[in-house]
């Protein structure tokens, strides 16, 4: 059946989609329909920062990369948000922009004029309402609330001291003039609650008469007529709905969802579309250039029972719950990932390694079972920031309910293995510094000394997992042979159709990807609004 007509249809109510929809409404650019495959963000564990471990399995697409020899035949999970707010409703809430060189590469290496460091800084600042920092590197009037993490665990404080003992500078602003150093993350948390794009951006327009939101709406395809996107067909509540778009269809379903939707609509590699039984509308390298951040968890037990272990059980859980429910304070206001370090381990002029410190053992995703039977401890998540391995995303069939195939090719490039090994060895070094050494009992993962290169490599290949930062599958560029969208984020060869999310990033930023995705969506909003003049 045919339903209503709108000026704009935005597919995906995540970090990018909520940002774009809000901007279009606030600028009075016309009517907007926002489609979300998941449900509403009502669960208390979404809004409670310390509840992220319970939110992730409940409100994500269960994406997983296919088994690969480079990671010992493992299938690696790549969950992405499937709920209002998308991944901003289930992520670690850390506000990280990456390094200015990342965006200089976009402009100079990939030919994406207008996407350099200074331009992106303008959009980071536009999006942000930072409680502590201001110009020239930060903004104080945007929708995105960025705050200090109020609760700091004693082990996180010890980690920050240990980083300084290792020779790193203490940083209060790792998103400013320099990135290398150690300190405490800022987070998208406000008044003790998660500040997702649904709770910040979308909240500002939710009752606007020109805004429409449909949840539990699974997109079947973008309607393309005469080389132009004219609308979207989606499934909802057992019925099929086609909504029409007068101006544009904007795809913002993420680095796995966006290529899936384009391919279901007949846009992609000919061989993949034909194999899936989808009529070919336009040939583009949709799904190529998939890449992601990998990390390993360096784990240690501690001498005294002061970690977060057991704080989610019994009377302790009741105490923390009451503290959060009535006062929005205490442990549950922490995203758990409290301390950071960014380090240049290869003298390349910018950090190539990032640490996330946890005052507990990371047993959430343990591919080798190393944490079984362990109680009190700590974890340093160690990651290489500039991966070289590239994979691809392909639909399995024409059925939108089928999850796409992900050939992640994780660690297929030996330079990525080297980077992960350098990161792990650095984590083992920081654990030997006095501030942490006084707490550490046994380093059990990896269970080999730092100078055992063969052992460290074997552990990396068996234990590495993603940080859920996939990008690049609808890459921005100037050549339709190697990119999917142009520098205005318009799909090559299809009028009235844009992609605007992490899938369009030519290469991954050196850090968590949520803040860069929102900044990209802010710039996309300008591009769309200016085209409507």
Cite the active site residues.
469
* Phi, psi angle pair for 68, to nearest 5°: -140, 140
Distance of CA 64 to the CA centre of its chain: 15
Q: Give the three-state DSSP class for 186.
A: strand
- Contact (CB, 8 A) for 99 and 343: no
The conformation of residue 75, written as its DSSP 8-state character, comes to P
SS (H, E, C) 342-357: EECCCCCCCCCEEEEE
- Contact (CB, 8 A) for 7 and 186: no
Q: What is the rounded CA–CA span in Å between residue 319 and residue 325? A: 10
Q: Give the three-state DSSP class for 389.
A: coil
Q: Report, in this order, helix, strand and coil percent for the chain, each rounded to 5.
A: 30, 25, 45
Q: What is the rounded CA–CA span in Å between residue 170 and residue 15? A: 30
Q: How are beta strands 377-384 and 353-358 bridged, if at all? A: antiparallel
Buried b (16+ CB within 10 A) or exposed e, 82-107: bbbbbbbbbbbbbbbbbbbbbbebbb
Q: What is the rounded CA–CA span in Å between residue 287 and residue 115? A: 22
Strand partners, 182: 170, 341
* Phi, psi angle pair for 264, to nearest 5°: -60, -25
* Phi, psi angle pair for 179, to nearest 5°: -110, -30
Strand partners, 379: 299, 358
Residues 6+ apart with CB under 8 A from 452: none
Q: Tokens representing 213?
A: 């939101």
Residues 6+ apart with CB under 8 A from 405: 66, 393, 394, 395, 396
- Contact (CB, 8 A) for 98 and 516: yes
Smallest CA-to-CA distance from 84 within 44, 20, 41, 37 is with: 41
Q: What is the rounded CA–CA span in Å between residue 506 and residue 139? A: 26
- Contact (CB, 8 A) for 512 and 471: no
- Contact (CB, 8 A) for 436 and 430: yes
Q: What is the rounded CA–CA span in Å between residue 300 and residue 378? A: 6
- Contact (CB, 8 A) for 68 and 245: no
Q: Tokens representing 386?
A: 């500039």
């Amino acid at each position: 059946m045919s339903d209503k007509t709108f000026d704009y249809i935005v597919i995906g109510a995540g970090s990018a989609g909520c940002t774009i929809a809000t901007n279009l409404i606030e600028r009075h650019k016309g009517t907007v329909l926002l489609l979300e495959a998941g449900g509403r963000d009502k669960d208390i564990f979404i809004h409670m920062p310390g509840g992220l471990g319970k939110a992730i399995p409940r409100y994500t697409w269960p994406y997983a990369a296919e088994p690969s020899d480079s990671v010992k035949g493992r299938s690696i999970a790549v969950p992405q948000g499937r709920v209002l707010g998308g991944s901003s409703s289930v992520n670690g809430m850390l506000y990280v922009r990456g390094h200015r060189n990342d965006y200089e590469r976009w402009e100079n290496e990939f030919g994406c004029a207008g996407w350099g460091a200074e331009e992106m800084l303008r959009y980071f600042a536009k999006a942000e309402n930072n409680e502590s920092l201001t110009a020239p590197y930060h903004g104080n009037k945007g929708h995105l609330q960025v705050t200090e993490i109020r609760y700091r665990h004693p082990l996180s404080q010890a980690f920050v001291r240990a980083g300084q003992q290792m020779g790193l500078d203490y940083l209060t602003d790792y998103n400013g003039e320099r990135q290398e150093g150690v300190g405490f993350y800022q987070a998208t948390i406000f008044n003790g609650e998660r500040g997702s794009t649904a709770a910040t951006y979308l909240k500002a327009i939710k009752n606007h008469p020109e805004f429409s939101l449909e949840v539990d709406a699974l997109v079947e395809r973008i309607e393309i007529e005469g080389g132009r996107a004219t609308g979207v067909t989606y499934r909802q509540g057992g019925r099929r709905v086609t909504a029409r778009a007068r101006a544009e269809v904007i795809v913002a379903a993420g680095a796995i969802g966006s290529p899936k939707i384009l391919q279901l609509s007949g846009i992609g590699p000919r061989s993949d579309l034909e194999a899936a039984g989808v009529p070919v509308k336009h040939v583009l390298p949709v799904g190529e250039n998939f890449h992601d951040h990998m990390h390993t968890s360096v784990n240690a037990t501690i001498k005294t029972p002061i970690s977060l272990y057991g704080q989610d059980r019994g009377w302790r859980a009741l105490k923390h719950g009451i503290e959060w429910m009535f006062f929005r304070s205490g442990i549950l206001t922490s995203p758990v990932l409290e301390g950071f370090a960014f380090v240049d381990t290869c003298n390349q002029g910018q950090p190539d390694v990032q640490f996330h410190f946890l005052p507990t053992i990371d047993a959430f995703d343990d591919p080798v079972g190393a944490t079984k039977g362990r109680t009190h401890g700590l974890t340093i998540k160690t990651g290489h920031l500039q991966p070289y391995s590239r994979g691809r995303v392909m639909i399995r069939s024409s059925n939108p309910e089928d999850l796409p195939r992900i050939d992640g090719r994780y660690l297929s490039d030996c330079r990525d293995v080297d980077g992960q090994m350098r990161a792990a060895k650095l984590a083992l070094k920081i654990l030997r510094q006095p501030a942490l050494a006084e707490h550490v009992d046994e380093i059990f993962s990896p269970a080999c000394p730092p100078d055992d290169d063969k052992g460290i490599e074997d552990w990396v290949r068996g234990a590495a997992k993603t940080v859920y930062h996939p990008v690049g599958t609808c890459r921005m560029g100037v050549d339709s042979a190697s990119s999917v969208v142009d520098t205005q984020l318009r799909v090559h060869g299809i009028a009235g159709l844009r992609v605007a999310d992490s899938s369009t990033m030519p290469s991954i930023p050196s850090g968590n990807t949520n803040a860069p995705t929102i900044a990209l969506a802010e710039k996309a909003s300008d591009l769309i609004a200016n085209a409507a003049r």
